[in-house]
Structure 1
Amino acid sequence: FFWYLYQNIKKHTYKYCTIIISEYFCFFLNVTQSKSVLKMVTAGYFLFFCIVRILSARSSAFVVPHNRQHIKSTAVLSGQNIESPADELTIAFTREKGKNYKIHDAVAANPILSMLDAKVNLVDLPCIRHAEGDDHENLLRYASKSNIEEFDYVIITSPEAAKVFGEAFRGDFYTSETKIAAVGKATKKALAEFDLEVDFVPSKATGETLAAELPALPDARVCNVLYPASAKAPDTIRDGLQAREAANFEMTRLNVYDTVPATFTDEQMNLFDDIDVACFGSPSAVKAWLQNVDVFLGTEGLSEEERRVVGNNGGVMAACIGTTTARECLESGRWEPNHIYYPKNNPGVDSWAASTAQALGDAHERKFWGGGW
């Protein structure tokens, strides 16, 4: 009993600690006050479930260990197809190759996984790859102190944009008077890898919040903004800045990189039948996932409306990094709203991992017990 409590407190699985304490207390109470057969039977009942709870906890879920050297484009950790019998669950990570390890490790460390009586497979299935955008050469033109100082701010809204911008300037930016605004902690960290100091981070890691909170220049002077972005990024920043009537922003947008859908191999597509939860880090990953699902199902020749009627997404729960990606899942018409999970506040790797773990718990509930949380 005390071993069980120690193990679950160490794992932060307090839900089971509460259950076991209640069952043990009921057993103890009935034994010490037992003067009838009914109370002895009741005590035996609670003792039985107390023992079952402990034994089941000792064989609870375990996660296939992650070896970063074994991340392959085949999306199979072990190098062979993963089979998913009744006691297994599988999570697919869809970011581009080599960029899944942070969310992978955060999900593996989530305490919810230790509460599931199932083996959990974590596999990489990259849905997108990055390519140079049409304006990449124009960014290089600004890569000097004299040219970049045409702008008061550079706005960076993704780690990939931070990488492209950092590689373009290669350490020459620090002498500039131009300030850098990053959408969140992950983007700020990516900029720091190029020794680029961030001057502004919004209170919430979204484009809407950044546009609403970016400091304007005094006396309504024009604030010139450079925005190196993905070609597929929406106009959230531009629209948000233009909506601020008391400020005066002029934005130059450069599409410095693009996200290109990855085409799955036959071996990768065979994993669709095994995957329970797919982790999406961008709307582009959602679109690429659905494109590959359509190929797998043979529905790629149908119209968008016809594909919505079919409604198949590969049979997975969607665990999204934030609201924009979750909205893409919802607007695709291929997921039920209660099958889309995302952090409503403070988006980031840890909150994304928590949403993924919640999705996995619900997938386990629906898959094995026919219900849902």
Structure 2
Amino acid sequence: MAQFCVSPFCSSPSPPCLQLHRQHQFFFISQPKIAPPPPSASATDSTFTIASTSSNLTPKVVVTRERGKNSKLITALAKHEINCLELPLIEHLRGPDFDKLPTLLTDYAFDWVIITSPEAGSVFLEAWRAAGMPRVRIGVVGSGTASIFKDALLSSNQSLDVAFSPSKATGKVLATELPRIGNKTTILYPASAKASNEIEEGLSSRGFEVTRMNTYTTVPVQHVDQMILKQALAAPVVTVASPSAIRAWKNLLSDSDWSNSVACIGETTAAMAGRLGFKNVYHPTQPGLEG
């Protein structure tokens, strides 16, 4: 049985329609039973489930990652008959150091390349291929980030080695547990321009030599459909996968008294939600989609 962590920001009780179940490393949203269709309803109508994406069903969960990157969560929730609404809150842009990364990978050999998010992994792989796929040793923050390298591992002719993941999927634990290599361990850390300094400070304090490259950045989407936003505000749960996403959601609320639940991918995002004033904040003990 998986253990769930309700963050300290969750002092307020959950809305009556929400119940946290500790099964299969996943929290489910209890839903009211659907009344049977009237006698005149067709057989097709009677087999509809709440997991359907039909627009006449009220969504229970809002998914907010960049467009095209919500399908795994939508599919996972659909298996539990939970209907989702997709409302992308953020988008990714190239950072100031992106164009320098292929040259750096060509000219220098690092003991470790540290990747702490799926987007950081995707951006790194683009630069790595442009550099001719040099041999690199990768440390990832967790299984979700590691999955980005799955296809590349099949075609890299063993030049790509995902060799480390910490016991807990956080940057702080990664910086504490990353193995030392030789007398002076050199680190390449391609990251979001908005990422904190926690990882490089933690590694530097251990004597590692860290080169950080801000290869991408995260910005709020430029346009939000107001009809979709209205639906999202009525949903019991909003999911967020980064501090940037919860900040974008906060900005959309304006002066709204919205007080429904926020499900965060991990404790870093949950901590940001708490600082922004959200009360019903939840996150899994182990960060990631499975949680």
Larger Rg: 1
**Shift in alpha-carbon separation, 1:83–1:189, aligned structure 2, 3 A:** closer
Is 1:282 aligned with 2:242?
A: yes
**Shift in alpha-carbon separation, 1:243–1:63, aligned structure 2, 3 A:** farther
Partner in structure 1 of residue 290 of structure 2: 350
Counterpart pick for 1:101 among 71, 90, 96: 71
- TM-score w.r.t. structure 2 length? 0.76
Indicate the structure with greater strand content.
2
Counterpart pick for 2:215 among 217, 238, 256: 256
Alignment of 1:175-186 (within 5 A): 175-176=134-135, 178-186=136-144
Partners of 2:227 and 2:262 in 1: how far apart?
22
Deviation at 1:213, TM superposition (A): 0.5
SS at match of 1:163: helix
Q: Could you list the runs of 5+ residues in structure 2 that have no partner in the other structure?
A: 1-20, 24-32, 37-47, 154-159
Alignment RMSD = 2.6
Structure of higher RCO (CA pairs closer than 8 Å, 6+ residues apart): 2
Indicate the structure with greater helix content.
1
Partners of 1:324 and 1:194 in 2: how far apart?
28
8 Å CA contact retained: 1:276, 1:315: no
Is 1:326 aligned with 2:285?
A: no
Partners of 2:209 and 2:94 in 1: how far apart?
25
Counterpart pick for 1:202 among 158, 166, 169: 166
SS at match of 2:101: helix
Partners of 2:238 and 2:288 in 1: how far apart?
17
SS at match of 1:164: helix
Is 1:233 aligned with 2:195?
A: yes
Q: Could you list the runs of 5+ residues in structure 1 that have no partner in the other structure?
A: 1-12, 16-55, 66-76, 114-119, 300-309, 352-373
Partners of 1:251 and 1:227 in 2: how far apart?
7
Deviation at 1:173, TM superposition (A): 6.4
Deviation at 1:250, TM superposition (A): 1.1
Residue type of the alignment partner of 2:227? E
Partners of 1:273 and 1:95 in 2: how far apart?
16
Residue type of the alignment partner of 1:157? T
- TM-score w.r.t. structure 1 length? 0.60
Residue type of the alignment partner of 2:73? I
Partners of 1:273 and 1:191 in 2: how far apart?
35
Partner in structure 2 of residue 133 of structure 1: 95
Partners of 2:76 and 2:161 in 1: how far apart?
26
8 Å CA contact retained: 1:106, 1:349: no
Deviation at 1:153, TM superposition (A): 0.9
Deviation at 1:277, TM superposition (A): 0.3
Deviation at 1:154, TM superposition (A): 0.6
User: Percent identity at matched positions?
Assistant: 37
SS at match of 1:197: strand
The count of aligned residue pairs is: 244
